[in-house]
Amino acid sequence: MSHLIFAANWKMNHGPAAAADFLSTFLAHYPRQYDRKMIFFPSAVALAAAAREVKHRPDIEVGAQNVHWEDKGAFTGELSASMAREAGASFALVGHSERRHLFGESDEDTARKCVAAQRAGLTPLLCVGEKLEERERGEAEAVISRQLRAGLAQIQQGGGLLLAYEPVWAIGTGKNATPEDAAAMHGHIRAELRAILGDRGSGAPILYGGSVSVGNVRALLQARDVDGVLVGGASLQPGTWSAIARSALPERESAPLP
């Protein structure tokens, strides 16, 4: 059985002290799990503190919210993948919609960041998602295909990879994709992965993100090809996050017979 993945994107919340407080409270009430994995994405300055807190927990890891594609140099304000690794990260978010749309990150940037992450021994979690107007124009699948083909252009086969489908209109809006829409897009992503990376890449876990809550997480995890969730707002309080992460394992929809 493959593990479900619960990923918490804390964005620009929780400094080192708050991150350590959160984790000590959370871990005291969240015993080791054997059927699911958890990844916290704290702020860069809280990475080391978070990594220390979860060190004794093989089911929990931490990741960087963003990395630069160069390993070092004159890039004021940036964080390299190898520095994130040294601070205790095992993963790196790449191409989150806030990076793309607030900070002008291009598809080519995401490709370089995926490679840099892998080179440093981090598993990239590449985020893709369409805007509302793109969905309304019927272009959602084409946008996702473009983001995937560009972002994965230089990826190493077998180097470790996670994907997240995060429709931009669902992030922080309280309006999640329906399980049916998520399943349809995850199926499309799975097919694209097979086309781009071949059989080895097609099994990469695909998370859903965008207004995941205690109320909707189980239905979303039940949808076909949804292998986990990437959660922003609802991951910020230990109680809410624990309720999400303890969701009863759903009966997964089985794939249709060919």
Contact set with ligand PGA (CB under 6 A): 9, 166, 171-172, 209-212, 230-234
Q: How far is CA 14 from CA 47, 62, 69, 149, 248, in A?
A: 10, 14, 25, 34, 28
For residue 117, the one-letter residue type is: A
Choice among 61, 98, 134, 166 that is catalytic? 166
Place of tokens 């991150």: 19
Instruction: Identify which of residues 125 and 197 has a Cβ nearer to ligand PGA in the complex.
Output: 125
Taking the complex as a whole, the smallest distance from the CB of residue 229 to ligand PGA amounts, in Å, to 8
Taking the complex as a whole, the smallest distance from the CB of residue 204 to ligand PGA amounts, in Å, to 18
Instruction: Identify which of residues 93 and 152 has a Cβ nearer to ligand PGA in the complex.
Output: 93
Taking the complex as a whole, the smallest distance from the CB of residue 47 to ligand PGA amounts, in Å, to 17
Instruction: Identify which of residues 166 and 192 has a Cβ nearer to ligand PGA in the complex.
Output: 166
Instruction: Identify which of residues 171 and 197 has a Cβ nearer to ligand PGA in the complex.
Output: 171
Decide if 166 is catalytic. yes
Taking the complex as a whole, the smallest distance from the CB of residue 4 to ligand PGA amounts, in Å, to 17
Asked if residue 245 lies in contact with residue 205, where contact means CB atoms within 8 angstroms, the answer is: no
Decide if 96 is catalytic. yes
Instruction: Identify which of residues 197 and 245 has a Cβ nearer to ligand PGA in the complex.
Output: 245
Q: Which residue is nearest to ligand PGA (CB)?
A: 232
Radius of gyration of the chain from its Cα atoms, rounded to whole angstroms: 17
Taking the complex as a whole, the smallest distance from the CB of residue 35 to ligand PGA amounts, in Å, to 22
Taking the complex as a whole, the smallest distance from the CB of residue 212 to ligand PGA amounts, in Å, to 5
DSSP per-residue codes, 62-97: EEES--BSSSSSS-TT--BHHHHHHTT--EEEES-H
Half-sphere exposure of 99 (CA within 13 A, CB side): 24
Residue 243 — left, alpha, or beta (φ > 0 → left; ψ -120 to 50 → alpha)? Answer: alpha
Asked if residue 189 lies in contact with residue 224, where contact means CB atoms within 8 angstroms, the answer is: no
Choice among 14, 53, 61, 96 that is catalytic? 96
Say how far apart CA 237 and CA 233 lie, in whole Å: 9
Instruction: Identify which of residues 95 and 197 has a Cβ nearer to ligand PGA in the complex.
Output: 95
The strand pair at 123-128 and 228-231 is best described as unpaired
Q: How far apart are the first and last CA of the chain?
A: 21
Say how far apart CA 101 and CA 58 lie, in whole Å: 34
Catalytic residue list = 96, 166
